[in-house]
Structure 1
Amino acid sequence: MNPTFELEPYENAMVTNDNVITSNEFVKDKNKRGSGFRTYKNLFVISIAFLLQFTAFNGIQNLQSSLNTEANVGVNSSSIIYVCLILSSIFLPHPLMSIFGLKWTLVMSQIPYVLFVAANYYPKAYLMYPTAALVGLAAAPLWTSKGSYLTDSGSKYALKYNFDKNTILNRFFGIFFAFFQSCQIWGNMISYLVLKPEVQLLSTFSNQTKDNTHLLHKTYDKCGADFIEHEYESSEVVKKIDRRTIDILCMIYVCIGICSIIIMITFLDQRRTTSREKMSVMVRNSLKLLVSSIKHMRHLNQILLIPITIWAGLELTFIFAQFTQAFISCTISAKYIGLIMIAFGICDS
């Protein structure tokens, strides 16, 4: 049975042996149709909310190593995010989902992302580092509750309509990631459109004096694979982007993040996968989950996934921190990061 179409179970439920529809059967069928609509409504609400939130977050994250170079605040902030993510993965998801349910865990976990983007208005260590830590602590509950929400709603939908569970879950997660993975496209497009250089950029370069041309070549020698960060920052040809332009970009990203939260608060239904628990029970269950996760490392399939995970982390670190700074910002301008990273977003999605 094709899970894309809900008409077939609807028609079957409307027919009795005497080809007569009773009032009870009509009400039951109407409830089933309503349940199917709400399930897909919640799926698209989560998908759109994540798309908006990570359009803003990934857009500003791609610029960290190029814009916030003072005391290496940008790269350090990104590092803090993922250190705190490790800690939050161990302890926070289960207690928060038990106390607040899946909807409000999702909503609360989105707020630090908006705060981190807003901190880029004034990117000092005492603002960037705490908000980065909050993002890391919120990330694990955010992604865990998202996975639990889609899995629970997909499983119940498959059971109600007698569909294959794996087929429905694959479809639900496929729809979600089709939205989510495109965030790199839209976030970088916004970045480029706001920061894009003036049209006369090429003519400006063509009119450079011989001394400036020599300086440019000397600087380019320190870009790419030969990138030297402190020489890049002190170079005379490095042009800082106007602060007002960066503030406009941050304002746009903050508004997008707030829209994501509003959409989730307004349209997402509450859902719980577990009942409320006492604090002692939550701590005990969290420890059990930690122990079971460690024991799971005995399985060969899990062990074989570890190198892939490590490689993915190293790859993304290189792309978001080193590639954007050494190969784009150093050679042409940070204004072009969005344009070039759109290509990454297209292939990534």
Structure 2
Amino acid sequence: MERSLKNVLVVSFGFLLLFTAYGGLQNLQSSLYSQNGLGVATLSTLYSAVLLSSMFLPPILIKKCGCKWTIAGSMCCYVAFSLGSFHASWYTLIPTSILLGLGAAPLWSAHCTYLTIMGNSEAQKSGKLSKDVVNQYFGIFFLIFQSSGVWGNLISSLVFAQTPTQETISEEQLLSCGANDCLMATAASNSTQPPSQQLIYTLLGIYTGSGILAILLVAVFLEPVKDKLETKGEKRLSSPTFWSTILSTFTLFRDRRLCLLILLPLYSGLQQGFLSGEYTRSYTTCALGIHFVGYVMICFSATTSLCSLLFGKVSKYTGRAALYGLGTATHLSCIIVLLVWHPHPTQLAIFFLLPGLWGMADAVWQTQNNALYGALFEKNKEAAFANYRLGEALGFVIAFGYSSFLCVSVKLYILLAVLSLTMVAYGTVEYLESRATGEITAAGKKTIQEEKGEMQTEM
């Protein structure tokens, strides 16, 4: 097995183990800790910390510690969150969510930087286009990583299935489910009996063990890597200063492409926040019960995982614009259905179908967004991916922040509006890139013609 692919697999399986724990726990927050809005408050605080972390920490940690140890150290913050959940309260979940948030941005920025460097290195060896290899590596990563949702949710469903028989949900209560839900996060989603504390401890024990294994895997088997762009003739004469490293995240906004593209990660955060916060509580838990949350979210994770590999491979044939079009059309359709659909236990197939379609579109955002940022900002990867995490964290903060104040229908209309604006901004960037490429090509042809003219004159 080639060295680059081996390292990609180590990173991928490390994230698989880590997010088997965190993903399953995140999906249960709004349902498991609905009292006084603790669940969504925890998630909102967590992503507020991610937002703060994205502004300062990723470039500094990656430069000082390297991608490998930034990934390993950040994973420890996720394990701390699992440990804090053993005694869930405002005094344990809020501090550990802040710690997790501070580690999340460096974790994702280091992982994106690592895969981009590995892809560029392999492309140079094999003579392939960098963007194709990077796209392929991100596809492999997200195939393995997104399957973490399958295992994390399967574990939670199997554990919580041991809860005593659920009470029947009344027709009157079903009327307040779905887009009609205006009870917000402070009210219980239904009258079903919650899982026992013993079952919750069992689940948290499994999740904590999975996170520890992820840290050990990365620390032992992942190879350190350096960006070859800096090891050739373009090597820097001196290391960047502390403040210039911090400011690199913000100075990149002078590039108008980044200003337009910031809507992509913003929408990515909003749509993921809606699915894990609103869909799990206002649709699944409200109409079926909390023990169905894991099974429903498995459909999302499975389709995202499989489609990530597929889109990573076919993007070089279809182009990224076609995939973005597919993702947009799919999410628009799902949002419209969620607005008009009245959830009922007899419509079981729909509860699974919608997350599946949602996951197919999410695979577009995950693979193409990361590859796009890596391709457009190759010389400023750390700062670019830090900005990506900043935008995505802002989307999560907004999604969980207004969770307790707005009806589900209003949140769906917000998603609809942001998605529309995002695609207009993305289309503008594609137009600017195609025009710039055309100008470079035209300039190259002109130079060749001038050289031929000079040669003929000399003759």
Tell me, yes or no, whether TM beats 0.5. yes
Q: Does 1:332 align with 2:288?
A: yes
Which residue number corresponds to residue 284 of structure 1?
A: 244
Decide which of 229, 233, 240 is 2:188's aligned counterpart.
233
- In the superposition, relative to structure 1, how do residues 218 and 166 fare at CA in structure 2: closer, same or farther (>3 Å)? closer
TM-score by length of 2: 0.60
Which residue number corresponds to residue 107 of structure 2?
A: 142
Which residue number corresponds to residue 159 of structure 1?
A: 124
1:121·1:250 contact (CA, 8 Å) conserved in 2?
Answer: yes
Q: Deviations over 1:193-251 (max 9, x none)?
A: 111156x848x75xxxxxxx8xx33333333333324784397x331211110110111
Which residue number corresponds to residue 40 of structure 1?
A: 5
> In the TM superposition, what is the alpha-carbon distance from 1:337 to its structure 2 partner?
0.5
- In the superposition, relative to structure 1, how do residues 277 and 130 fare at CA in structure 2: closer, same or farther (>3 Å)? farther
| Structure 2 counterparts to residues 10-89 of structure 1, below 5 A | 37-89=2-54
SS at match of 2:188: helix
Aligned mates of 2:147, 2:207 — CA distance in 1: 16
Decide which of 208, 211, 216 is 1:254's aligned counterpart.
208
Which residue number corresponds to residue 295 of structure 1?
A: 254
Q: Deviations over 1:175-194 (max 9, x none)?
A: 11111122221211111111
Decide which of 318, 321, 345 is 2:277's aligned counterpart.
321
2:37·2:185 contact (CA, 8 Å) conserved in 1?
Answer: no
Which residue number corresponds to residue 16 of structure 1?
A: none
- In the superposition, relative to structure 1, how do residues 234 and 312 fare at CA in structure 2: closer, same or farther (>3 Å)? closer
Q: Does 1:126 align with 2:82?
A: no
| Structure 2 counterparts to residues 195-210 of structure 1, below 5 A | 195-197=160-162, 201=165, 205=168
Identity of aligned residues (%): 34
- In the superposition, relative to structure 1, how do residues 168 and 130 fare at CA in structure 2: closer, same or farther (>3 Å)? same
Aligned mates of 1:334, 1:135 — CA distance in 2: 25
Aligned mates of 2:279, 2:212 — CA distance in 1: 29
1:73·1:123 contact (CA, 8 Å) conserved in 2?
Answer: no
- In the superposition, relative to structure 1, how do residues 37 and 134 fare at CA in structure 2: closer, same or farther (>3 Å)? same
Aligned mates of 1:184, 1:47 — CA distance in 2: 13
Q: Deviations over 1:58-85 (max 9, x none)?
A: 1000000010123312111111121121
When Rg is computed on C-alpha atoms for both structures, the one with the higher figure is 1
Aligned mates of 1:319, 1:189 — CA distance in 2: 17
Q: Does 1:117 align with 2:82?
A: yes
Which residue number corresponds to residue 427 of structure 2?
A: none
1:328·1:337 contact (CA, 8 Å) conserved in 2?
Answer: yes
Flag structure 2 segments of 5+ consecutive residues without an equivalent.
306-459
Aligned mates of 2:149, 2:224 — CA distance in 1: 29
2:8·2:137 contact (CA, 8 Å) conserved in 1?
Answer: yes
Which residue number corresponds to residue 58 of structure 2?
A: 93
Aligned mates of 2:78, 2:158 — CA distance in 1: 22
* Residue identity in the other structure for 2:14: A
Q: Does 1:243 align with 2:212?
A: no
Q: Deviations over 1:10-46 (max 9, x none)?
A: xxxxxxxxxxxxxxxxxxxxxxxxxx73222211100
- In the superposition, relative to structure 1, how do residues 310 and 143 fare at CA in structure 2: closer, same or farther (>3 Å)? closer
Aligned mates of 2:73, 2:185 — CA distance in 1: 39
Q: Does 1:266 align with 2:231?
A: no
Aligned mates of 1:78, 1:244 — CA distance in 2: 23
Which residue number corresponds to residue 268 of structure 2?
A: 312
Decide which of 131, 141, 157 is 1:192's aligned counterpart.
157
1:222·1:232 contact (CA, 8 Å) conserved in 2?
Answer: no
SS at match of 1:238: coil
> In the TM superposition, what is the alpha-carbon distance from 1:304 to its structure 2 partner?
4.7
SS at match of 1:63: helix
- In the superposition, relative to structure 1, how do residues 307 and 99 fare at CA in structure 2: closer, same or farther (>3 Å)? closer
Pairwise CA RMSD of aligned residues? 2.7
Decide which of 204, 221, 228 is 2:175's aligned counterpart.
221
- In the superposition, relative to structure 1, how do residues 117 and 162 fare at CA in structure 2: closer, same or farther (>3 Å)? same
- In the superposition, relative to structure 1, how do residues 341 and 244 fare at CA in structure 2: closer, same or farther (>3 Å)? same
1:95·1:283 contact (CA, 8 Å) conserved in 2?
Answer: no
- In the superposition, relative to structure 1, how do residues 230 and 114 fare at CA in structure 2: closer, same or farther (>3 Å)? closer
2:35·2:188 contact (CA, 8 Å) conserved in 1?
Answer: no
Flag structure 1 segments of 5+ consecutive residues without an equivalent.
1-35, 206-212
> In the TM superposition, what is the alpha-carbon distance from 1:160 to its structure 2 partner?
2.9
Aligned mates of 2:298, 2:248 — CA distance in 1: 42
Aligned mates of 1:77, 1:127 — CA distance in 2: 10
TM-score by length of 1: 0.78
Number of aligned residue pairs: give it: 298
2:35·2:187 contact (CA, 8 Å) conserved in 1?
Answer: no
SS at match of 2:87: coil
Aligned mates of 1:44, 1:265 — CA distance in 2: 14
* Residue identity in the other structure for 1:348: T
2:50·2:103 contact (CA, 8 Å) conserved in 1?
Answer: yes
